[in-house]
Amino acid sequence: MSLAAGRLPARQVRDGIRASIGHAARAQFAFRASTWTGIVGCVLQVILVHLVWTAVYGDRTDVAGVAQVDAVTYAVLGVLTTTLFQPFIFDSLLGRLRTGAIAFDVMRPISAVPVALARQVGGTIGQLPAAAAALVIGLALGAIALPGSWLSGLACLVSLILGFTIALIVNFTVGLVGFWTLEVGGAFLIYRMLAQFSSGALIPLWFMPDWLTGILTLLPFSAQIFVPLSIYVDRDPGWHTVGAIGLQAVWILVLIALATLVWRRAIRRLVIFGG
């Protein structure tokens, strides 16, 4: 079993993936109270982040070489990016493992892997209303500045797509832990804390000790959020920007290879109809 789809006409594969995306997105809106709670929670995060970082800077316009407007913009966009990139929809994979529904996923003509990734994309779509509402509030508060330059904005868009791809692959790979043990609450909690801290979503890597920054930049988490947002506020993009985006692309290749290896080992542990 590989990360590729099964041998079906491309149109049927696309239809199946779109259906999975749509189902996961609709599932996010199944409970209105939960949807509104998510929107309110995201908006409150933006407001609090804006207030905290503004208070931290106080009358200073620059801290550790980082301008206040850049730090506040980064922090607010970090909330929005985290909301979209890390909905942790891999929990649905665990649920299908517990109920045995994963067996039907594996036997379908379309590989279970793109279907699982499609569900994560659908989960992200389900978070769009919360992110959009928070974005409006952030703009109204003046907490989000324009990108450092038009080139920075364009490069940030490319970097965000690559960062989202990295998040999808990492989330999926962590979800495969459920093939070995169905009690993975502790592992997921550790992963979530590690991902949010190491990605720079909570504290930009600019403000961390040099030795810690060096370690975190070697992990794929920083390529998810810190790299795109640091590119966004960069007023002088250049070859260092190209290098950062290139490293994201390398991470995607490495993570695909790792996910393929883990998936092949995981699928060997699956017993369908006693065989």
Report pLDDT digits (tens) over 228-274. Answer: 999 999 888 889 999 999 999 999 999 999 998 988 887 776 655 44
Which range has the top average pLDDT, 92-106, 187-201, 243-257? 243-257
State what percent of residues in the chain have pLDDT above 90: 27
The overall pTM is greater than 0.85: no
Q: Are 89 and 23 in contact (CB under 8 A)?
A: no
State what percent of residues in the chain have pLDDT above 70: 80
User: Cα–Cα distance between 52 and 72 in angstroms, integer?
Assistant: 9
- The tens digit of pLDDT for each residue in 130-177 reads 899 999 999 998 899 889 889 999 999 999 999 999 988 988 888 777
pLDDT at 59 exceeding the cut of 90: no
More confident position, 19 or 167? 167
Max Cα separation, the chain? 69
The dihedral region occupied by 100, where left means phi > 0, alpha psi between -120 and 50, and beta the remainder, is: left
**Short-list 227, 43, 27, CA closest to 121:** 27
Domain extent listing, the chain: 146-275
Specify the amino acid at residue 57.
Y
Alpha-helix residue ranges (DSSP H) falling in 127-236: 128-140, 150-175, 185-198, 210-216, 226-232
pLDDT of residue 194: 83
User: Cα–Cα distance between 204 and 217 in angstroms, integer?
Assistant: 12
The dihedral of CA 245, 249, 251, 255: what is its sign? positive
Which range has the top average pLDDT, 9-13, 88-92, 109-113, 170-174? 170-174
User: Cα–Cα distance between 9 and 13 in angstroms, integer?
Assistant: 6
Confidence of residue 5 (pLDDT cuts 50, 70, 90): very low
Residues 6 or more apart whose Cβ sits within 8 Å of residue 123: 24, 25, 28, 87, 89, 92
Specify the amino acid at residue 204.
P
Q: Are 111 and 1 in contact (CB under 8 A)?
A: yes
pLDDT at 184 exceeding the cut of 70: no
Burial environment of residue 184 by CB neighbours within 10 A (0 to 12, 13 to 18, 19 or more): buried
- The tens digit of pLDDT for each residue in 125-136 reads 888 888 999 999
pLDDT of residue 252: 95
pLDDT of residue 25: 72
Mean pLDDT for the chain overall: 81
More confident position, 247 or 90? 247
* CA 28 centroid distance within chain: 16
pLDDT of residue 161: 94
